[in-house]
Structures are given as structure tokens and as C-alpha cells.
Amino acid sequence: MKTLVCTTPGQFEYQPGVKPELTPDHAILRIRRIGICGTDLHAFEGTQPFFTYPRILGHELAGELVAADNAPGFKPGETVTFIPYFNCGHCVACRAGKTNCCVSLQVSGIHMDGGMVEYLSVPTYSLVHGDGLSVDELALVEPLSIGAHGIRRADVQPGEWVLVVGAGPIGLGVMEFARIAGGNVIALDINESRLAFCRNKLHVNHTVLATDANVVEQLAMITSGDMPTVVIDATGSLRAINNAFQYMAHGARYVLVGLQKGDVSFSHPDFHKREGTLMSSRNAMRADFEHVIASIKDGQIDPTTYITHRVPFGQVRDDFAGWLDPANGVIKAMVEL
């Protein structure tokens, strides 16, 4: 079995691996698609928190179910994805149903080796039925679920102005589910081509270039002076995270979907006078996965429009560094096996 290992920041190696054997309460998947996400790119750069090397990356996956133990309703040969956040089931978060932020959470491809392999063993409780979706669509369910979870955390209401900072794949998912929730979406990014993608593919009516000198004034004009009542960061950039506090309306909620190694800082008086709410949004839950799959089946989202680059598994090592270059216009790279 071939595996692709990130041995150190900036370095991949193809290495032989051992095909997993079936163990109790686990399933074996033959991987068919691997989506490349910001976490993978940051790990390659060496800027991803919670990370050690060497590591097999990959958690946006679709595959064929080869075998499973204790997986009622699942059949060998069916196409599936899985929830790549493995929880303990008994900590304070798990007891409250918040398995996405388990005290001892192990995320595939981050805390433990992930899916840049030909075959992968996962807990059966993490399996998700393909429900007729293509392998491309299934590989994009996980990143879209992160966006859906962020919108659920924000409790977006119909008619609210929702500012999404960052128009990468996670930000696009946030925008899609903000729209589905009835929000009026504003996209903010430093990359004009990504903003054009938001306008042309996602039909986002309001986009703002983050490098403009008058961002606050533009947001005020768009929102008739109110400013956004929901601000969501999907950049993972410390500068962008700290900057966005000034974009909040009075009484607004600010949700951090993006993750940064540094310390977040803001003016307490400015935040206090707004009676702002600051919260994080970590990973996603099964309800979010189900919401995403239903939204794709209903035609409310076409995630395949995000795929700008495709490579076979054997070519990933050669192409990966190029996906970090904004000039290459990568929205979503998809690996085929």
C-alpha cells in the first residue's frame, strides 16, 4: 500500500504502508477522493497548530466501504464518507453532545495519520452514507460541514447581514449556508479573483476588497449604516481576525472558524460598548454533515464548482507546493485514486 507522508514542513515522501486489517468496531475504506484543505496547506507550511511530524495528511475523503465490524445499515461496496473527528464519548463536552470539541479529540490527518493512503481504517461510528452523492461531492461534505456548523453557532436569522472574512473553500461554505439560513452575505478577501468567484459562482451580491482603505465605510454603506450583525472569520490570519472586530454592529456576534497560533487582541472598550459576542466554531457534528448532504441533494449547493485542480495520487508530491501560490488560482484541489 502506498502512502504520502509529510515528513517535515515543506517535504512530502511516498512511502510503503501496510494495508489495515479489520478490527472490532472499525471499518476499512478504499480511498477514492481526497480534498486538499487549508489545514493540509498550513501543515505543509509548518503553521498549523496541534501538529507534529511526520504525518499522513488528509481528512476530506470519499471511499468505498471494503469491510466493517458493527456497522448496522452499511454494506460492503457502498460509497461513503466519514466524520474525521474521533471523540472519547465520556468527557464533559461529549456528555453535553459536543463531540466536535471533545477534550481528547483526535482528528484524522492532524493529531493522527489521515487519508493520503490507498486504504484507511476508521471507527464505524464515524461512517456517513453516501446517499447517492458522487465521490467528488462526498469528499467536499466535510469542509462544507465546517461552514454549516459555523452558521449554526452564529444562529443566523433571515435578513441579517453576514460578513464572511476569507473566500477560500471554508469561507465559501460559510457563505453558502449563511445564504441558506436567509442571511444577506458580504464577502471580504484580499484576493480579487476569489471575490469574482463569489460573485460569479455563488451569486454573492456584495464583495469588498480587504486591502481597500475604506472597508468600514463600504460595509456601512452596504448595511445602511448598521454594520454586519454577524461576522465570521474563515481566514486563519491573525491580522484579519484582529481587524474584523471593527466591522461588528452593536450587538453583533463574531465567530472564529479560522484558526491561528497567535493571541487574538482587540480593544475591550470598543468590544464592550457593542456588547459583542465572541465565539469559536470547531469542526462539525453529524447534524451538520446531514444538513450538507441534504442541501446538495436538494440542489441548493453544487460543491463541484469549487474544484479547480485535479491530480492523481502519484502526482500530489510534485504539485502540492504550487497550490500555496495565489497566482495559480486554486479554490479546491482534488486528488483521485
Q: What is the pLDDT of residues 71-109, one digit of tens each?
A: 999 999 999 999 999 999 999 999 999 999 999 999 999
Q: What is the CATH number for 185?
A: 3.40.50.720
Beta bridge partners of 274: none
Q: Is residue 290 part of a domain?
A: no
Q: Please give the radius of gyration of the chain, using alpha carbons only, rounded to the nearest integer.
A: 20
Return d(Cα 107, Cα 93) in angstroms, integer: 16
Taking the C-alpha atoms of residue 31 and residue 62, their distance in angstroms, rounded to an integer, is 6
Per-residue pLDDT tens over the stretch 121-155: 999 999 999 999 999 999 999 999 999 999 999 99
Q: What is the pLDDT of residue 235?
A: 93
Indicate whether 301 pLDDT > 90. Answer: yes
CB 117 within 8 A of CB 18: no
pLDDT-derived band at 209 (thresholds 50, 70, 90) equals: very high
| Residues 273 and 155 both lie in one domain | yes
Residue 201 within a domain: yes
- Is the same domain home to 190 and 83? no
Instruction: Give the pLDDT of residue 113.
Output: 95
User: Alpha-carbon distance 325 to 152, whole Å?
Assistant: 32
Cα distances (Å, whole numbers) of residue 159 to 71, 208, 216, 230, 277: 42, 19, 20, 11, 19
Query: Within this chain, do residues 64 and 151 fall inside the same structural domain, yes or no?
Result: no
135 and 72 assigned to the same domain: yes
Instruction: Report the C-alpha gap between 164 and 187 in whole angstroms.
Output: 5
pLDDT at 327: 85
Whether 258 and 315 share a structural domain: no
pLDDT at 262 over 90: no
Same domain, 14 and 114: yes
Same domain, 309 and 239: no
> Is 295 a domain residue?
no
Same domain, 13 and 122: yes
Phi, psi (degrees; rounded to nearest 5) at 237: -95, 125
44: domain range? 2-139+302-336
Q: Are residues 274 and 150 in the same domain?
A: yes
Pair (265, 158) in one structural domain: yes
Assess whether 6 and 133 both reside in one domain: yes
Task: Give the model's pLDDT for residue 84.
Answer: 97
CA distances from 293 to 178, 180, 202, 299 (A): 16, 13, 18, 10
Q: Given a cut of 80, is residue 49 above it in pLDDT?
A: no
- What is the per-residue pLDDT for 217? 98
pLDDT of residue 136: 97
Q: In the structure, what pLDDT confidence band is assigned to residue 245 with cuts at 50, 70 and 90?
A: very high
Instruction: Write the CATH number for 49.
Output: 3.90.180.10
Cell of 241: 481576525
Length of the chain: 337
- CA 174, CA 163: separation in Å to the nearest integer? 10
In this predicted structure, the answer to whether residue 67 has a pLDDT above a threshold of 80 is yes
